[in-house]
Structure formats: C-alpha cells, structure tokens
C-alpha cells in the first residue's frame, strides 16, 4: 500500500502517526513539509480530501497564528492559505494519504482508518495504548 505523510519530526503526534504506519508494515513517502511545503493546489487537495475547512487545517499552538492576526474571522480562505504557504508551521499536521483517503491524523490513531487492519499491540511514545495485547483498538 502506498502512503504519504506530511511530517514534522519535532511533533510527537506526527512521530506516533509515522510509527503506526510503519507498524502496519508500510514504509510511507515522508514529506517534511517545513522544508518542502506543498503547493497551494496540493494543500487545498489535502484539506478538502480530509473533509476540513481551511480554518480547521491551520495550526494555532506554537505558531505565529495570533501574532499574524489569523484569528480574525473576516479573513478569507485565500488569505489563510497564503499565510500557511508563507509559514508552513501554520499547516496542521500530520496529513496522511493512502488509497483509503486523506486524513489530518490528530490524534495519531486516526491513521488506522487509512491502513489495513493492525492487530499487533502498539503504544504511543507517552505510553498511551492504541492497540492492546489482544489486537483491539483502544478508543
């Protein structure tokens, strides 16, 4: 199965998502989007494919979101996209695409909806159990 992850290695959610993809036996194409941001068209495709609005896909925590006044509800989607492309840290992460679809994988276990069944136990970096010892997904 092909998979693409828009990854930030400094982000725990992104690292856990990547680990889950690999745990499923898939080596994804990894795009470190801070160094290689998506094109405007690709960003729109990711957002729309995940069923999000542009505002849903913009990251607030740990970004210049407030300093740039991006919380202004009158800003258009185009203005928000411009900001995300100028400062890719504003793109929420991680976006993952497989033949099953596109998701913003927050929390990281959302990625399981895009993967073949995973039945081996999996625990996140912080110790949270995602798949228990019986192979069941913990919700």
| Catalytic (active-site) positions | 11
Q: Is 84 exposed, middle or buried (0-12, 13-18, 19+ CB in 10 A)?
A: buried
**Residue reference for tokens 């970004």:** 63
**4 CB neighbour count, 10 Å cutoff:** 16
**124 CB neighbour count, 10 Å cutoff:** 18
């Amino acid at each position: 199965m092909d998979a693409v992850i828009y990854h930030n290695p400094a982000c725990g959610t992104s690292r856990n998502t990547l680990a889950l993809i690999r745990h499923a036996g898939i080596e994804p194409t990894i795009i470190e989007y801070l160094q290689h941001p998506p094109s405007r068209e690709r960003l729109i495709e990711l957002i729309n494919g995940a069923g999000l609005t542009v505002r849903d896909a913009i990251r607030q925590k740990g970004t210049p979101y407030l300093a740039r006044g991006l919380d202004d509800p009158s800003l258009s989607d185009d203005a928000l996209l411009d900001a995300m492309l100028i400062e890719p840290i504003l793109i929420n992460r991680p976006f993952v695409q497989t033949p099953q679809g596109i998701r913003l994988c927050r929390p990281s276990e959302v990625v399981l909806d895009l993967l073949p069944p995973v039945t081996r136990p999996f625990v996140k970096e912080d110790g949270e159990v995602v798949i228990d010892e019986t192979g069941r997904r913990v919700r």
